[in-house]
Amino acid sequence: MIWRRAAMHLLVSSVVVTLIGVCAWADLTVQNRGAEQLVIDGGSKGVVPFPHYLHQSILKDCNVCHTLFPQEQGGINRLKTEGKLVKQQVMKKHCLKCHKRLKREGSPSGPTTCTKCHVKDKK
């Protein structure tokens, strides 16, 4: 009888520890989404405010964008400096392509012109 109780306590403890671990892992994956809003260096045309969480909720797959550039702050600029990305490559291959496709389909889409994304600093 004592062994049965000990086994039951061990089983319950194992289940509780496993559930705590799963909940902690799930919480980390939700929190590891990067910034809600990003500001991308848009060169001479001005910065590009980027609604990161909005894109995540629509695209669902981070690799849609992050196969071209890493998930790191300043990653796009670093790749440009290293000559691994050319000017406007991300915008032309990803942003405009997707926004225009959504617009053609009649779905809500992002901007498709330079001035709708780039914000010049007003001095």
pLDDT tens sequence across 72-105: 888 888 998 999 988 888 888 889 999 999 999 9
How far is it, in rounded angstroms, from Cα 17 to Cα 39?
40
Q: Please say whether the beta carbons of 65 and 59 come within 8 A.
A: yes
Structure tokens at 60: 């669902």
pTM of the model: 0.66
List helix spans (H) across the chain. Answer: 2-31, 52-59, 63-66, 75-81, 89-90, 96-104, 114-117
Residues 6+ apart with CB under 8 A from 45: 114, 118, 120
Residue 1: predicted pLDDT:
66
All structural domains of the chain with their residue ranges: 1-32, 38-117
Residue whose C-alpha is closest to residue 117's, from 45, 56, 59, 53: 45
pLDDT digits (tens, 9 = 90+) for 26-79: 544 555 678 899 898 888 889 999 999 999 998 888 888 888 888 888 888 899
Residue 89: predicted pLDDT:
86
Phi-psi region of 87 (alpha: psi -120 to 50; beta: other; left: phi over 0): beta
What CATH superfamily is the domain 38-117? Cytochrome C3 (3.90.10.10)
**Over residues 2-7, mean pLDDT:** 62
Residue 98: predicted pLDDT:
92
